[in-house]
Amino acid sequence: MRRALSQWLRANAAAPGTPFAVFAVGKAAREMWQGAYDVLGERIERGIVVAKDIADSCRGDPCFARARVFDGAHPLPDSRSVAAGQALLDAVATLPAHCFPILLISGGASSLAEVPRDGVSLEQIRAAGERGLSGGVPIGELNRQRAALSALKAGGLTRQLRGRPALGLFISDVPGDDPAVIGSGLLAPQPDDRVVRQVIATIEHALTAVEQAAQAAGLTVVRRPERLVGEAALQGGALAQALLAGPAGLLLAGGETTVTLPPEPGLGGRNQHLALAAARVLAGHEGVWLLAAGTDGIDGATGDAGALVGGQSWQDAIDAGVDPAAGLAAADAATVLEASGDVVHTGPTGTNVGDLVIGLKVSAREGPDRRPPNGHPADRMM
């Protein structure tokens, strides 16, 4: 994201000498700020960066010398999120006239920065978020529910600009890539605003990068044109069936699924849930693997990105003393996949354009071994 942001600014930045104020919010806030600094440098007079657990890593970095850096909470806001959100509103409202504002918004901003509306408590916002996350609510609808309770969402930052010109750059993790929805609409359009809005990265960019790398390696690629939506288990099963029925090579898909949780769910995110459902379909088949992972390196409330499963994964879980069917029903995919050895951990990646699913099928001539000829499938897919 740092490179994508800097490339866009180099092609579109204002004339030399213009001073800027930069405000970056979301899971990619650190990298987006760095991309802005790479191009604008000391022309950035001030700004704010809000992300998850980044304050310590930014301390002492000259890139952030003029930034106020805040740690917010995710996937549900806490008091740190409110402190960050209020700082954003205040800083934008009191911005000196000579500074041109650039606002950098990426997924996760909904929780990382928050200001409750008058009469609304943080506990109410958290409760609404918990209901949405546990009920399989699509991200667009969840963001609309959040906006009804928040002074920051649904154009809160736009209103603070009070009609002054500004630039908004977005990394999208939502269907439709609408700036009015990204981050629950922190910078959503308002009457007579003068904000120029541009989405600079989406799941399609990530899929294209995977596709090009695979083709350069001589692999056949089948790319699903529609985005993944709906129940993760259904999508996992359908993608596994398509992988088995398709040609040798890669099967690519991207988007964001949901999981409707049982009353007492276990541990795991939507990507691990999708992968476990795929493992049930792939069970007993040789030469097939499926990776489901969040591009942000975080799957739900876990510290993992997702999982990489194959034809042996289901049986591996059973051999480890875990019932994978029961784990799937209980939304406890992380426990099952940890037992089978299929969890993928990357740590935060500094981007967030949704989820990637990459299926790999090797031809019979490459052998029946459960690993591709060049080692673990992750070595070829990530």
What fold, for 204-381?
glycerate kinase, domain 1 (3.40.1480)
Token digits of residue 13: 């930045």
CA 65 to chain CA centroid, nearest Å: 27
State the pLDDT at residue 62. Answer: 93
Residue keyed to tokens 């992968």: 275
d(CA 122, CA 116): 6
pLDDT category of residue 378 using cuts at 50, 70 and 90: very low
Q: Which residues pair with 254 in a beta bridge?
A: 356
Q: Which of 172, 374, 174, 382 is nearest to 291 (CA)?
A: 382
SS3 (DSSP) at 59: coil
State the pLDDT at residue 99. Answer: 95
Q: Which of 217, 206, 182 is nearest to 110 (CA)?
A: 182
Q: How is the chain split into domains, by residue range?
A: 2-201, 204-381
Q: Which residues pair with 221 in a beta bridge?
A: 250
State the pLDDT at residue 15. Answer: 62
Q: What is the pLDDT of residues 308-363, one digit of tens each?
A: 999 999 999 999 999 999 999 999 999 999 999 999 999 989 899 999 999 999 98
Q: What is the pLDDT of residues 225-239, one digit of tens each?
A: 999 999 999 999 999
Token digits of residue 68: 């106020």
SS3 (DSSP) at 172: coil
State the pLDDT at residue 148. Answer: 82
- Is the separation of the CB atoms in 43 and 69 below 8 Å? no
What is the pLDDT of the chain when averaged over all its residues?
91
State the pLDDT at residue 1. Answer: 85
pLDDT category of residue 302 using cuts at 50, 70 and 90: confident
Q: What is the pLDDT of residues 181-238, one digit of tens each?
A: 998 899 999 999 999 999 999 999 999 999 999 999 999 999 999 999 999 999 999 9
Mean pLDDT of 130-144: 70
Token digits of residue 355: 């989820």
d(CA 78, CA 295): 24
Neighbour-count burial for 254-289, b at 16+ CB within 10 Å, e otherwise: bbbbbbebeeebbbbbbbbbbbbbbbbbbbeeebbb
Q: Which amino acid is at 121?
A: S
**Alpha-carbon torsion 89, 93, 94, 98, what sign?**
positive
pTM of the model: 0.87
Q: What is the pLDDT of residues 146-174, one digit of tens each?
A: 778 999 998 999 999 999 999 999 999 98
Token digits of residue 370: 């459960």
Cβ-based neighbours of 216, under 8 Å, separated by 6 or more: none
The answer as to CATH 3.40.309.10 being correct for domain 2-201 is: no
State the pLDDT at residue 368. Answer: 43
In 72-164 the beta strands, taken as DSSP E runs, fall at 100-105
Lowest mean pLDDT among 50-59, 124-133, 247-256, 307-316: 124-133
Mean pLDDT of 5-15: 85
pLDDT category of residue 141 using cuts at 50, 70 and 90: confident
